[in-house]
Chain A
Amino acid sequence: MNRASILQGLQDRVVTLALTIVVMFVVCSLIWPTKFPTFDNISLVLLNLSIESIVAVGMMLLLISGMFDLSVGSVVAFSGSITAYLMYYYGMYTPVAILVGLGLSAVIGLVNGLLVAKVGINPLIQTLAMMGIVRGLALMIAGAGIQNLPADFNAIGQTKILGIQSPVWFMLIIVAVFSILVARTVFFRQFYYIGGNEKAANLSGIRVDRVKIIGFVIISSLAGIAGILLASRLGAALATSGRGMELRVITAVILGGASLLGGQGKIIGALLGTLFMGLVSNIMILARVSGYWQEIILGLILIVAVAIDILLKKRAGTTPKKYVQQATSVASPKQVQA
C-alpha cells in the first residue's frame, strides 16, 4: 500500500473505527486480563448496546438519505408501554399485542414521513414535535410503569441462545440483514442518491417522497422492535425508557461514518459506533471513573473524530470543504426547483 491509498483507507470511518475498537480491545485485555476479555463482560457489553444498535441501524439509513429522526427514544418507550398495557389490562395474546405495538410504531413513522415528504416540514421540527407527543402518550399509557408481564413475553428478551442473550441475536440479525439490503439492493441504494442530491434523484426517476416515507416507517418500526425487546428484557414497560436515546444514537452513527449532509455511511458503521460507545462506558466502569466523565469523554471523542476526518480529507485534497459548499449551494439559474 502506498501513502495515498493509506490516506484513503483512513478516510473510511468503518476502517478507522474497527481498528480503534481492536486496539481498545487489546489494550484493555492487557490492563485488566481477568476482568475485561471474559465471556461474561463482553456479552454484557453487547447486551447493553443491543437495543440502541437496532435503533442506530434505522438512524444510519435515514442519515444516508440526509434526514434523521429525533422521536425514536419516545417510540421505544411507547411501543413497550402500549404492548404491555394491552397484555396487562386487556389480557391480549402476546403475539397480537406485539403486532399492535409494532404497527402503531410504524404508523408514527408514517405520520413523520408524510409530514416531512408531502407537506415539507423540516425533519428536525417534525420529529422533535413527535418526540414530545409520543413521550406524552407513553406516560399516559404506562404511568409509573407496567410490571408482571406474561412469561411468554418476558421470554423474548430474556432467553439465551448458545449462551448469548436474545437481544444480542436480534441486533446481529438486524444489522446483517440491513447491511446486505443497503449495500446491494436497488431500493435501498436510492437512499444514497437522495442524500447525494435530492433534486437530481427526483429527476432521475427516484420517487423521493415515497422512499423518504418508507425510511421513516423503517426507523420507527425498528424503534418499536427495540422498545418491545427492552420491555421484555426488563420484564416491565417504563414510560421513561429511551430518554436521550435519539442523541446517543445519532452520536454513534456519526462516529460510525454518517454525515448530517447525507449520502455517506454504511450500516455496519452503526454497529461499530454503538460498540465503540459501549466499550468506552465499560472501560469507565472498569477504571472506576465517575459516570459523569463518560458524557464528557464521548462528547470530546465525537469532536475529535469529526475534526480528524475533515483534516484528513483536506490533506488528501479529495474534497476541499469550500468546493463542496460552493458546488452544492449554487443557485439554479432559473427559479423553478425540483
Chain B
Amino acid sequence: MSDNNLELQQISKEFPGVKALDQVSLTVRAGEVHALCGENGAGKSTLMNILSGNLQPNSGSIRWKGQEVQIPDPIEAQRLGIAIVYQERSLVETLSVAENIFIRNKPLNRLGFIDFTQLHQQTKGLLERLGLSDIRPQSLVGSLSVAKQQMVEIAKALSQKPELLILDEPTASITEVETEILFSIIRGLKQQGVSVIYISHRMAEIFGISNRVSILKDGQHQGTFDIDEVTVDTLIRKMVGRDLQSQDTENHTQDEVVLEVKGLQGERFRNVSFQLRKGEILALAGLVGAGRTEVARAILGADPVLEGEVLLEGKPARISHPKDAIQQGIGYLPESRKTQGLFLDMSVADNVVAANLEGVAERGVLKPQQIKQEAEDYIQQLRIVTPGSQQKVLNLSGGNQQKVVLAKWLMRQPKVFIVDEPTHGVDVGAKSEIYAILNELTRQGVSILLISSELPEVLLLSDRILVMWNGIITAEINREQATEEEIMHYASGTKNMYA
C-alpha cells in the first residue's frame, strides 16, 4: 500500500440532475504513468477538478501518501504537490513566459521588488532542463505558437516540483516534435518517482507512455488494467459500452467540380490551388499552423483574400463576408466549437437555427414553433443527448455540443461543407457518429473539405489528400497511396512534390 501515492476511495459527485461520479475508487502509484480514458462526459474532468481543489466531492475520501486529506482549493492542491495542466490554456498572454511560470513565488530582491534577472535565469534553467531551450523567458506568451504555449503550461506545472502531475489532453494542440519532448519529460519524471495521470483520447499515446490505464464510463469506474494486458479494442469497448459501427468507406466522388480555388493567397498562405468535386471528401492535412484554417477562412470570406480566386460551380464567387459564402452554399464548421461555433449561453434550438434565421421566419418575423420543431428534428436525427431543445448548450458534453454545431450547418444544406477539426476533443463514440454523418452527406452529393491534424482520421475519411506545410501545398496524394509516414514527410517540409 505504501507505494501508492494517491488513493481515491468511493468518490461520488453529483450535479443537479447528473451523477458525474459514482463511487469511483482509484489508486496511483509512485513513479507510474496512469492513463485515464473515457468518453466526454464520463467524469474525467470532474475527477481532476476534485483532485485540484476546484470541486468538492459529495462523498468519499482522498488519501495522499497514506494520509487522508481534504483539498478545499487549488492552493492546497499545490501545497500537497499536485499540479494540473488543463486542456484549456490558463496562461496570461500579455505577460512574459517567465512571469507566467512563476505567477506566484517570484524571486524578490532586497527591496522587495521582483528580481527580473533572477526570474529569467531560473526560467531559463527550467526550460533548458525540459529540453525547451528555444523558448525565451522574456517572450510574451501571446507571441508564441499554440504548441509552445502548451509546453510553457507544462513547464509552469513542473516548476512547482509536483509529486503528482495531471495532464488533461496535453497533446491536443501540439505537434509531433513537442509530443516527443513531452514524452521524454514524462519518462524523466517517472524515474524521479513522480506520478502522472495522463488523460487522452489518443490510443497510441496511452499505449506508448502509460503503465496502467483506468476507464470511466458515465461516472463509473470500469476497471484498471496493466497496459500489457489490454488491447485497443477492449479499451474502446469498455469506454463506449458497444462496438463501434464500421465505417462506410465508399468513394462517392462524382465528376462535376463544385469548388475550385485558383492561386489563392492570404496573409499566412500562398499559391493554393485545388479542385473539389461533387461528393468528394478532400482532406487538407498538415501540422497545426500550416495555414489550413486560414485557407478555409479566406474561402469563407472571414479573412481577406490577397490574390487568386474562388469558383463555385465554375462561376467566380463574390464573397466578402461569411454571409455571402453561406448564401452561395458553403458551410464552415470551425475548429474551436466553444469560441467560434457555439452560443454557449443560448439554447440548443437557438444554436441550431443560428445560421438559418431566414429559414425559420416569414417576412422577417420568426416562428418560434418552427424553430422548436427544426431543433427537435435534428436532436432526434443526430442523436443529440439533451433534456430538450430549450436546454443551454453549455450543459451538454463535448460530443453533443459538436453535433449541435453540425446540425446548424446541416440545416443550411450546404453544397460545400468545410469541416475544421470536426472531432477535436470529441469522444470515441461521438467521433464515429460524426464520421457516419459526413459519409452520409457525401452520398447525398455534398462536397467536403476536411481539415484535420489526426492522420488516422484523414486516412479513414478522405478520398484525396492535400498536404500543407508553412503556407503552401506540398503534396497531393490519393487515399490508396497515402501512409501516415508519407503525409508526415510532406507536412513537416522534408519533402515537396512541387519543389
Contact = CB atoms under 8 A, between A and B. Distances in A.
Interface in B143-162: 145-146, 149
Interface string B168-198: 0000110000000000000000000000000
Given A184-B366, A332-B339, A333-B424, A203 B302 contact: yes
B344 A197 contact: yes
A185 B354 contact: no
A204 to B, nearest CB: 4
Given A184-B365, A317-B16, A332-B340, A207 B89 contact: no
A338 B366 contact: no
B327 A338 contact: no
Contacts of B355: 204-205
A204 B322 contact: yes
B326 interface: yes
Nearest to A259: B345
B392 interface: yes
B205 interface: no
B173 A333 contact: yes
B392 A319 contact: yes
B27 to A, nearest CB: 28
A323 B46 CA distance: 12
A203 B338 contact: no
Interface string B335-363: 11011111111100010001101100100
B334 A186 contact: no
Given A193-B354, A330-B88, A207 B323 contact: yes
A84 B395 CA distance: 55
Contact of B343 (A184, A187, A196, A330): A196
B338 A205 contact: no
Given A202-B302, A204-B355, A332 B366 contact: no
B339 A185 contact: no
B407 to A, nearest CB: 12
Contacts of B321: 202, 205, 207
Given A205-B322, A331-B149, 8 more contacts: A197-B344, A200-B354, A203-B322, A263-B343, A317-B17, A324-B344, A333-B335, A334-B335
10 contacts: A185-B361, A192-B346, A197-B342, A200-B339, A202-B321, A203-B300, A205-B322, A319-B394, A330-B336, A335-B145
Interface of A: 184-187, 189-190, 192-193, 196-197, 199-207, 263-264, 316-319, 322-324, 326-336, 338
Interface of B: 15-17, 54, 88-89, 93, 145-146, 149, 172-173, 268, 288-289, 293-294, 297, 300, 302-303, 321-323, 325-327, 332, 334-336, 338-346, 350, 354-355, 357-358, 361, 364-366, 392, 394-395, 408, 421, 424
